[in-house]
Structure 1
């Protein structure tokens, strides 16, 4: 029998305002990933959204003292133990926010090894969209996470836009990134049990996401 423990998705939002477009993007990505996971397997899916603004003081104290508060320790554990992670930051000075970076500075460099991660960012204009490639993707490569191919940037004008004949609108990009994260999570979660039960003998088995990247020469 397959494991009945739920799959766990954690979305980290570094938005500072309330309400926040960063939190909204995190929610929509989590919904897209959860919807795809629910459609493709019969395990429950738990989603947790972490608002770093609520932990800002605890993060600062941990950076200078080396001791996390109970709430921060529990949040770090939730992130490192999640089956899939969504990381969303507002753009500050052409990069991720200081709060976002400070939180991930507290994560052990090996704790996210192999973990599927969807990256996203919000900003005032589309000029900052490359922050996903020159800042966020290298950060998570250092943390040894497996980032999904589609990252999502949402400028102010993207909200409510359906795109045009040349550019996908924000909803389409969210669905694609959420679907890729779901596929990566399933590949990581199912590959072990499938081998143990011999499902790869005469049946289609899910290929781990890391193996798929390796076969494409992208590892």
Structure 2
């Protein structure tokens, strides 16, 4: 089976950023899960702030500069996406939304996506489900059920003891790995192959030999 292509989009503004930190931990968890299943994976990580000017130029002119066009091509070819954004004013960042706006409308149709978000307070934890998930659903992507939100306290001594961050990361990663592995299985199954209706080891000779008996 060909290596699966995982694209990671981080919309963090600062360097370093908690958004990138969460993206890295989600990526590591997904790769570990897929590796345990024997699924080879190629990863491409993009910091959207590096393409901010290109994104704006695309919005103004309708044409993507080459660096941005290469990112968009990688996203369109991905077998799975991890997308993480900081939360500003109760929703995704403008940079994150602007990148999604310049994507081709059908670029991520049917693509499984693991959503992540970061903010200073847990009060924004519902933003994934009321803002980010509908955005990807509109594009006919397939967000996995678990979205992973991380507030400032999740990184320090005050981390949530009821639903610790790593537990949420592992659950979301497992769901994305399930989707990736499932896509691989569906690609391997050829509905027109002899095995699909003759069974393993079957042949046309066996099928024809039964005629007239």
Do they superpose with TM above 0.5? Answer: yes
User: Which residue of 2 is the match for residue 106 of structure 1?
Assistant: 102
1:102-154 deviation per Cα after TM superposition (whole angstroms, max 9, x unaligned): 00001112221110000010000000011101100100000101110110000
User: Which residue of 2 is the match for residue 216 of structure 1?
Assistant: none
Cα RMSD of the aligned pairs, angstroms, is: 1.9
User: Which residue of 1 is the match for residue 24 of structure 2?
Assistant: 27
User: Which residue of 1 is the match for residue 148 of structure 2?
Assistant: 152
User: Which residue of 2 is the match for residue 142 of structure 1?
Assistant: 138
| Shift in alpha-carbon separation, 1:82–1:127, aligned structure 2, 3 A | same
Range with greater deviation from structure 2 (77-86 or 152-161) = 152-161
- Answer yes or no: is the 8 Å Cα contact 2:85–2:92 preserved in 1: yes
**Is 2:40 aligned against 1:44?**
yes
1:130-184 deviation per Cα after TM superposition (whole angstroms, max 9, x unaligned): 11011001000001011101100000001146643xx320011111111110110
1:163-217 deviation per Cα after TM superposition (whole angstroms, max 9, x unaligned): 43xx3200111111111101101111221213456479889xxxxxxxxxxxxxx
Q: 5 Å matches for 1:63-74? A: 63-74=59-70
Q: 5 Å matches for 1:1-219? A: 3=1, 5-41=2-38, 43-160=39-156, 163-164=160-161, 167-196=162-191, 198=195
**Structure 2: runs of 5 or more not aligned:** 201-213
Range with greater deviation from structure 2 (153-162 or 80-89) = 153-162
Normalised by the size of structure 2, how large is the TM-score? 0.87
CA distance in 1, matches of 2:50, 2:196: 45
CA distance in 2, matches of 1:200, 1:28: 43
The DSSP-based 3-state class of the residue aligned with 2:86 is strand
Aligned residue pairs total: 197
CA distance in 2, matches of 1:30, 1:137: 19
**Structure 1: runs of 5 or more not aligned:** 204-219
The DSSP-based 3-state class of the residue aligned with 2:44 is strand
| Shift in alpha-carbon separation, 1:60–1:192, aligned structure 2, 3 A | same
Q: Rg: which structure is higher?
A: 2
- Answer yes or no: is the 8 Å Cα contact 1:162–1:171 preserved in 2: no
User: Which residue of 2 is the match for residue 209 of structure 1?
Assistant: none
- Answer yes or no: is the 8 Å Cα contact 2:153–2:160 preserved in 1: no
- Answer yes or no: is the 8 Å Cα contact 2:75–2:107 preserved in 1: no
The DSSP-based 3-state class of the residue aligned with 2:172 is helix
